[in-house]
Amino acid sequence: MKVVCVGSGYVGSVTAAALAMAGHATTVIDVDQHKVDCINAGRSPVFEPGLDSLIQHQVGTSLKASVSAHDVHEADVVFICVGTPSLADGTADLRFVKAAARSIGEHLNTERFTVIVNKSTVPVGTTELVAMIIEEASGLKAEEQFAVLSNPEFLREGFALEDVFFPDRIVIGTLNLKARTTMRELYKPFVEQLYDEDVARILPLEACKNRQKAVYFETDAKSAELIKYASNAFLAVKISYINEVARLSEALGSNVADIARGMGLDSRIGEKFLQVSSGWSGSCFPKDTGELLATSQKYGKELAIVKAAIESNQQMYQFCVGKIQHKLKSLNGKTIGILGLTFKPDTDDARQTQAIPIIHKLLQFGAKIRVHDPKGMTMFRTLHGELPITFCDQAEETVDRANALVLLTHWKDYRQLDWKRIYDAMKTPYILDTRNFLPAIELREMGFDYEGIGSL
């Protein structure tokens, strides 16, 4: 089939590359010439493990990029994969979605039935809005000459290729039968996993083994849109819950890692998303919980649980800072090394990261901050260049005469640091490991005052 993806950001690049790999002739459209050049040169415009290889593999055969929306004219399916940042009131800014819809409408082919797919995370009702904009721009009739549907993405940064090729579910939101037939055809290779060997060359095979086949689920557009928000908010609630249990566990002297394990063994609960942290963050959970809460309030049906999870998450940042304060007494003039600026490992994404509220609070109390991240320092500097903090090229440099070392993101490399050098460089060898990730027993044996979260 012929496919166009509007937007070459995180979701657009991954979706387009995967559709191309599945055998569809795919064009990525973006207004940013640099990103377009990047893809055409066989490189990924965003950092995501495996994506460079995938794009390199497909470019020149079934994948290309362009700044012109011309290919919409020939397309069977057009994906909208543009950003939906948060406005000040928590609701989603639909500027880019509307612009994409207009541009698609202007290039739509009057002779064929085109399916337009909303993959961006958008408020409930946006599918209808996009259809109206396209009707206006094209003069065509929605549902008869084209159809717009919702097909939310469930890609985790850092595992996006695994998630796109081996998804748990593919959700298609439309009641239009012609559009449903087109989408079944488009996703056939994904449901039947027809690309196993090709993908295995790019992804480590372990990730693909034992994966259940995707459940292909059809519903109406509004339900599909809400599935996305309700899922992400549920996961955020789950993390907030275990983080609260961790706080209680710490007070009681029990061990939250064992509690999470014991809970997760109940298949109704499940073991995933019970990993303690300094709070959930990133480009999705804060935005999606905010939007869902705002929508629920607008309709007079406030989701009190989501509201509580957001508040609880804020308290988690303060809880971590409180632990450092408790240990160091005054933070004024104290040096604190921070390991990890991205919201999770294996991404360069430092948007809405937990590092921000935590660093802000530490600075307010007069601490001097030295930071390191293997991939996220460039974005962090671009977004928060105004912060009076020191960026270190080596993780070990963050602890020069430091009073504390705080691990915020559990990058694998942080387990293998030169701990002897770190111990010798620190003024007081206190470590706060907000992910319970570092080798606690070894570190304590070396003389570190090591603290995790949720246990003694």
Instruction: Look up residue 207 and give its amino acid.
Output: A
Contact with ligand UDX (CB under 6 A) among 96, 165, 285, 448:
285
Distance CA 21, CA 237 (A): 35
Residue 93 has φ and ψ, to the nearest 5°, of -85, 115
Contact with ligand UDX (CB under 6 A) among 113, 216, 241, 273:
273
Residue with tokens 């928060």: 384
Which range in 92-100, 152-160, 300-308, 425-433 contacts ligand UDX by CB under 6 A? 152-160
Interface of this chain with ligand UDX, residues 330 to 389, rule: CB under 6 A: 343-344
Q: Toward ligand UDX, which CB reaches closer, 430 or 437?
A: 437
Q: Confirm or reject binding of residue 241 to ligand UDX (CB under 6 A).
A: no
Residue with tokens 């009076």: 388
Q: Toward ligand UDX, which CB reaches closer, 25 or 320?
A: 320
> What token pair was written down for 307?
């509201």
Distance CA 255, CA 250 (A): 7
Contact with ligand UDX (CB under 6 A) among 155, 369, 402, 425:
155
Q: Confirm or reject binding of residue 26 to ligand UDX (CB under 6 A).
A: no
Q: Confirm or reject binding of residue 275 to ligand UDX (CB under 6 A).
A: yes
Which range in 106-114, 153-161, 372-380, 391-399 contacts ligand UDX by CB under 6 A? 153-161
- Neighbour count for residue 88 (Cβ, 10 Å): 6
> What token pair was written down for 202?
């790019």
Q: Confirm or reject binding of residue 120 to ligand UDX (CB under 6 A).
A: no
Q: Toward ligand UDX, which CB reaches closer, 62 or 353?
A: 353
CB 405 within 8 A of CB 399: yes
CB 166 within 8 A of CB 208: yes
Residue positions annotated with a catalytic role: 284
Which range in 31-39, 138-146, 251-259, 281-289 contacts ligand UDX by CB under 6 A? 281-289
Q: Is 56 annotated as a binding residue?
A: no
Q: Confirm or reject binding of residue 66 to ligand UDX (CB under 6 A).
A: no
Q: Taking CA 337 as the corner, what is the angle to CA 334 and CA 339, rounded to the nearest 5 degrees? A: 160
Distance CA 446, CA 441 (A): 9
Which range in 185-193, 209-217, 279-287, 320-328 contacts ligand UDX by CB under 6 A? 279-287
Contact with ligand UDX (CB under 6 A) among 232, 313, 403, 436:
232
Instruction: Look up residue 432 and give its amino acid.
Output: L
CB 371 within 8 A of CB 355: yes
Contact with ligand UDX (CB under 6 A) among 113, 154, 195, 241:
154
According to DSSP, the residues that pair with 173 across neighbouring strands are: 150, 219
Q: Is 273 annotated as a binding residue?
A: yes
Distance CA 286, CA 354 (A): 10
Name the minimum Å distance from CB 438 to ligand UDX.
16
- Binding-site residue set for NAD(+): 30, 35, 84, 121, 157, 287, 351
